[in-house]
Amino acid sequence: MNHLPTAVTASIEMAVNRVLQLDEDTLARLQGLQGKIIAIEISGLDVPLYLIPEANKISIYGRYEAEPDTLLRGTPLALMR
């Protein structure tokens, strides 16, 4: 499986967190997911992303050694839905 470079995941993280700062409701709902590891596998690209919600942001990694709490797998189109 391929891994995204740190610069790419940092850019994704920055964009996601900018959007989250505009949506207080979503930020509040993320409180219950703090510290959980959410793995996303994008089918066809063989690229994983690991999302870890924190107090006011989401950290995103291209590689993470711990076992995820949940795994979402699908095509880019399916994941966007």
Q: Tell me, what's the pLDDT at 12? A: 92
Residues of the chain with pLDDT under 70: 1
Q: Tell me, what's the pLDDT at 15? A: 95
Q: Tell me, what's the pLDDT at 28? A: 87
Distance CA 16, CA 12 (A): 6
Lookup: tokens for 52: 């870890």
Q: Tell me, what's the pLDDT at 62? A: 93
Residue 43 has phi, psi (to 5 degrees) of -60, 145
Closest of 45, 43, 50 to residue 66, by C-alpha: 50
pLDDT digits (tens, 9 = 90+) for 33-50: 999 999 999 888 878 999
Closest of 42, 51, 47 to residue 70, by C-alpha: 51
pTM (predicted TM-score): 0.85
Distance CA 44, CA 30 (A): 28
Q: Tell me, what's the pLDDT at 37? A: 97
